[in-house]
Structure 1
């Protein structure tokens, strides 16, 4: 280890290698605190299994580091592409074992949402954490982030996250939901909690009609709804992983598995056929 690499350990911020293959993007990065030392986004989805290891090697070369300089490996745990997310999980587990590094799983949906927050909401919140309500009372400005991944048949992989004075937090668990019912749930919750804005990100392309319905329903309620697609970023994943590691959290390498959310379609059909067959 060089003296420069050794210095990374001394300011309290871990050096994290982050990797996600749950979406069409192979997203990877090396992060240190709030800095991105190197990052890669590749959209050759069918080549994730071929490119992942070489991209990791490339990342470390660009960052000027070797494996000994890493404090942990963060992996996007899903949900997402059934085949895709297993690639990052397998590579991450293997590297964590071979290099003897902590393995930190992070929700791929949370990484998508956090990336959207960093792109747009972070600057707004930094300058205006507080807002005045109609009675002149000071209230906390809260932004909601709703990541979407298409799950076919009108369904989405999704969750709900909030950024505000209380920091970054999860409001609803990851899951697979019918988009129509999800919008109904978000509408009811928004009317009750009254966030300043809701940003729908990830890949909403097949669900814009329902997302638009949410926007239209809240247009007269002083709640701004933005539909802004965003791609997976390794740096957002890495920052979330670093936060988990600093809290003393990590995952067991041997038992760590992707968050499939539901059985793959082929497995579900097979299970149903077996059940019918007695």
Structure 2
């Protein structure tokens, strides 16, 4: 995508926490360039070349960028590290502010902006809930939850974390039952839940019983929403130290679990 004119104040955004490598250059709400590739194992090979291509396509240089926004997970352990490493390096080399954005929030926000929330919160009255999910293996998902209603701000009501999908659906059911009638009008489960279809369908039935419209919306990460949320964080002064910035792993790798257990054992001796 070629912009007629590259403008100062643009944000370069990148996220590699999912199977979708999402990157974009956004300025003043206008998407100047955007890349989305579905090749999880090749993120490290293509991320830098894709960034270079976007800059070339827009005719921009690093001097015209205002900040770097990075999707900091949760998600693929290796994938998160790729985006974080690239973002930290560019922020340091180009002397640009670095902001971290929850990959789950960007997934939810993007799905809502793409149309879920535009009609969702008014289709059945009340709040519209957006619940993003990414597969985390062994019946688990990376997930969180957000809400939006007409005249109110986008808000988070559940932290990013790793949860068993069936337990998470149980929790959503409990929360729906605890709401006053009409408080929640609709709920969208967004992201990649292809391996959790049984629980997704159960959530739909739970919604029907509670009088809540439940939509199942497959959605892949898009760089423009990393950039938009990054802009919000930048304007709020939520800037990261590029030397200390780390992804939100949410859970330890197997090697780290073994190492910590060993350290704990040695400390008791």
Q: TM-score, normalised by structure 2?
A: 0.90
2:185 pairs with 185, 196, 209, which one?
196
Task: Give unmatched runs, 5+ long, in structure 2.
Answer: none
User: 1:34: how far off?
Assistant: 2.2
Distance 2:261 2:115 in 1: 44
User: 1:249: how far off?
Assistant: 1.9
Distance 2:89 2:72 in 1: 15
Task: Indicate the residue corresponding to 1:222 in structure 2.
Answer: 211
2:165 pairs with 171, 179, 196, which one?
179
Asked if residue 158 in structure 1 is aligned to residue 143 in structure 2, the reply is yes
User: 1:276: how far off?
Assistant: 6.4
Distance 1:129 1:46 in 2: 40
Question: Which aligned runs of 4 or more in structure 1 are off by greater than 3 angstroms?
Answer: 128-131, 269-278
Task: Indicate the residue corresponding to 1:148 in structure 2.
Answer: 133
Q: Give the superposed CA RMSD.
A: 2.0
User: 1:251: how far off?
Assistant: 0.9
1:117 pairs with 112, 119, 134, which one?
112
Contact 1:33 1:242 in 2 (8 A): no
Task: Give unmatched runs, 5+ long, in structure 1.
Answer: 132-140
Length, aligned pairs only: 259
User: 1:244: how far off?
Assistant: 0.9
Change (3 A) 1:213 1:129: closer
The range that moved more, 111-120 or 82-91, is: 111-120
Task: Indicate the residue corresponding to 1:209 in structure 2.
Answer: 198
Contact 1:33 1:239 in 2 (8 A): no
The range that moved more, 240-249 or 84-93, is: 240-249
User: 1:122: how far off?
Assistant: 4.0
User: 1:70: how far off?
Assistant: 0.7
Distance 2:123 2:234 in 1: 27
User: 1:227: how far off?
Assistant: 1.1
SS of the counterpart of 1:266?
Answer: helix
SS of the counterpart of 1:258?
Answer: coil
Q: TM-score, normalised by structure 1?
A: 0.87
Task: Indicate the residue corresponding to 1:239 in structure 2.
Answer: 228
User: 1:242: how far off?
Assistant: 0.6
Distance 1:130 1:230 in 2: 22
User: 1:125: how far off?
Assistant: 6.2
1:83-112 C-alpha deviation (Å, 9 max, x unpaired): 111000000000000111000000011011
1:266 pairs with 250, 255, 258, which one?
255
Task: Indicate the residue corresponding to 1:138 in structure 2.
Answer: none
Asked if residue 73 in structure 1 is aligned to residue 62 in structure 2, the reply is no
Distance 2:120 2:208 in 1: 21
1:88 pairs with 64, 74, 83, which one?
83
Distance 1:188 1:243 in 2: 32
